[in-house]
Amino acid sequence: MKVLARRPRRQTTHTGTGTSTKTKANTPIGTVGTASGPVDIESYLHRFNTNAEVRTQVVANFLDSFSPSPLIRDGKVGGVLHIGHTFPIFIGQSPVLDKAVTALSSAFLAKRSRDLHLLQYSARLYGEALQIVHGRIRSGRRCGQDSLFATVFFQFYELINSSPLGFKAWTSHVKGSNAILGQYSDSSPPTVTDHLFWRQLKFVTVCDAIGLRKSIYSYSSFWKRPALHNPWRESVDVILDSIIECSALIEAVDFLIQHGHQDLQDDIQTGEKLLHGCLQLKDHLDTSFCEMQARLGVPYSSPNQQPFWSTIDTSIPREVFPDAIEYPCLTCAESHLLWWTTYILLYPLIDQLLTFLGRSRSEISFNMWDIPSSSTAGTSSHSYDTWASELPEDFLGVADHYAGLICRSAKFLVQPETKAMGTQILLAPFSQATQFYHSREAIEKYRWCQSVFMVFSRLGFGIAPFLKDMIWPKYEAATKKKLPTSSSR
């Protein structure tokens, strides 16, 4: 097994406000710790535009409330970079970024402390930042990097304090980000801040593309450019590149299935080419999955664990996904969830192409990754090799297996120790699993997912009620099919 080299540790080269997110442990909710001691946030609302110290501490309080300890976040993996590390440096650097990061931070603190006045103020700052960016776009001038980064904060804001438009507001910010990205012509090596924000933009764009069954390349010419290698790439960057490739395959396969003819030689050749691309991606995913586990660690299950969901929400049935998955850290969980999401997307494509081409599923071999028990964690590769003929009647059963792994991960990611970052990491993969179960008409599992979304809402994510009832029409049309009767596990 190839072991990935350790990434260099983060260099703290930022100046000005710094990157520290520590606040005093005894600082009450609704206050910030300044040099002169804790100060009530509400009393400083009218001074947010002039008092950089207060704004900096609001951001620091947000990061302390949102992100868990380094041990829970990154475990024993050193030098992991997160976008939150950059947030404090934007205070006082750009009016639009100053307003955007303060709006996000104060919105989260307001939701956590149920402070209506602070929430109203955050909404006002959010609106002012939006006006600045919209004004620049309407002027026809090239938008600067601060406008691009601000759209990332707008996306985060909509996850926390969703506007009446709901998910449409989030998607509009994704489109705005890509419109600005299309103006970029700089080919110089990215800074660490560039890399972290572009990673986030890549993530949200591919999330939108998957729901619409589109290739990410249709969003902006920026994504067609060769990736510039840099020392900050992590396992999550590897899997995001694979999801981009998967999005292009999704668009092409859907077009072939909808418009192709099985008796036309050109369409058969196209199908064979697409199947080859899917199988190549599958092999790459398996290889990079091993490398990721070698670097980040291996999850495990605890069959005899104590009940958990009943302490949060008694309406969530524990018997649907009883065998919860534990992870060494959040960084490990994030990468695993994204790999499993990609498998959920990929295996139905392979199944459709084999059906279109009249090929036998027994021709295809693959690894189906599973979770070891706690007694065997760290002693094997944690996969079992099998032939497709030994699995359910089609590859949808394999996709169902990976959707189940995502749902079994929910307990770890919503526990108090992971704070809000755990839920944020879970949102997109869990949404994919939910849509999969709806399209497969797995009613019990789908309703279980809906119940968990309401837990997300109580943890401070205002977007959760919209995601709970949302249906992706194009995904539904492309994938709707009855579940195989036999289990993949």
Q: Euclidean distance between the first and final Cα of the chain, in Å?
A: 25
pTM of the model: 0.86
**Residue 70 to residue 473: CA distance in whole angstroms:** 40
User: Is the separation of the CB atoms in 409 and 333 below 8 Å?
Assistant: yes
Q: What is the pLDDT of residue 185?
A: 66
Is residue 268 exposed (0-12), middle (13-18) or buried (19+ Cβ within 10 Å)? Answer: middle
Indicate the pairing of strand 37-40 with strand 300-301: unpaired
pLDDT tens per residue across span 431-482: 999 999 999 999 999 999 999 999 998 889 999 999 999 999 999 999 875 4
pLDDT, mean over the chain: 83
Tell me if 397 sits within 8 A of 488, measured CB to CB: yes
The closest alpha carbon to 232, from 486, 11, 401, belongs to 11
User: Does residue 138 or residue 266 have the better pLDDT?
Assistant: 266
Supply the pLDDT for residue 38.
53
279 class by beta-carbon count within 10 Å (0-12 exposed, 13-18 middle, 19+ buried): middle
Mean pLDDT computed over 154-176: 92
Instruction: Give me the pLDDT at residue 167, please.
Output: 86
Confidence of residue 487 (pLDDT cuts 50, 70, 90): very low
Alpha-carbon distances of 359 from 258, 275, 341, 350, 481, rounded to whole Å: 18, 11, 25, 11, 19
The model's confidence at residue 184, banded by pLDDT at 50, 70 and 90, is confident
pLDDT at residue 488, rounded to an integer: 31
What is the reported pLDDT for 442? 95
Closest CA to 123 of 99, 90, 149, 97: 99
Question: Where do the structural domains in the chain lie, given as residue ranges?
Answer: 31-66+81-193, 234-479
Nearest to 193 by CA among 19, 58, 69: 19
pLDDT value at position 31?
Answer: 53
Task: Over range 392-407, report the average pLDDT.
Answer: 88
pLDDT tens, 1-58? 333 333 333 333 333 333 333 444 444 545 555 444 554 555 544 444 557 888 889 9
| pLDDT for res 41 | 52
- pLDDT tens for each residue of 270-326: 999 999 999 999 999 999 999 999 999 999 987 666 555 656 666 777 788 888 899
